[in-house]
Amino acid sequence: MEGTVFALMTRNSEPPRTQAAPRQAPAWPLLADLGPLGALPTVLPLARAFTGLVLGGWGLASLTEDNGLIISEFTSNVVRAATGPDGQPRYDVHGRLPVLWLRLSSDRARLWLEVCDNLAPELGVPAERQAAATDETGRGLELVSALSQDWGWEVLPGNEVKRVWAVMA
């Protein structure tokens, strides 16, 4: 996948240099990725369908519900950050759409889920909130934290790509 973010994450490369504790993507035998995709609302059903198809193909269809939920949360967070207050995509100075990538990996016991985006950091970074009972939003990452064995995010070398990941067991 030369020319994409995944070229930065080859299995023999050094762990990413980040401000947070870096987490190298695991070298698990099952691997599927999709992207770049425009960070538009239409990507949500696609991300979910991709997750279901991939897990089904790996014989892990029973894990689709929780994993599809995590992928949906990560993807919808990117789409929200990529959308301006007028509801239009935040095109960059060159008129390009923000994009995202999905990657799923498994050793058949665990799953690594990741969503990368190329949004500028000033558009926000993942931050788990303590949603009040009456809040309608702010629970996505809380849910990710509850469902996953571990999760995190980092900026990849080059500072142009942010990666949010979760390990599901």
Ligand X SMILES: Nc1ncnc2c1ncn2[C@@H]1O[C@H](COP(=O)(O)OP(=O)(O)O)[C@@H](O)[C@H]1O
Contacting positions for ligand X (CB under 6 A): 73, 77-78, 80-81, 117, 119, 123-127, 129, 137-142, 164
State the nearest-atom distance from the C-beta of 158 to ligand X, in Å: 17
Residues 24, 25, 26: CA angle, nearest 5 degrees: 105
Kindly tell me which of 99 and 164 has the beta carbon lying closer to Mg ion: 164
State the nearest-atom distance from the C-beta of 100 to ligand X, in Å: 8
SS3 call for 51:
helix
Measured torsion, CA atoms of residues 137, 52, 105, 5, in degrees rounded to the nearest 10: -70
Kindly tell me which of 77 and 106 has the beta carbon lying closer to Mg ion: 77
Interface residue list for Mg ion (CB under 5 A): 77, 140
What CA–CA distance (Å, rounded) separates 142 from 130?
A: 8
Strands 162-168 and 99-106: unpaired
State the nearest-atom distance from the C-beta of 141 to Mg ion, in Å: 7
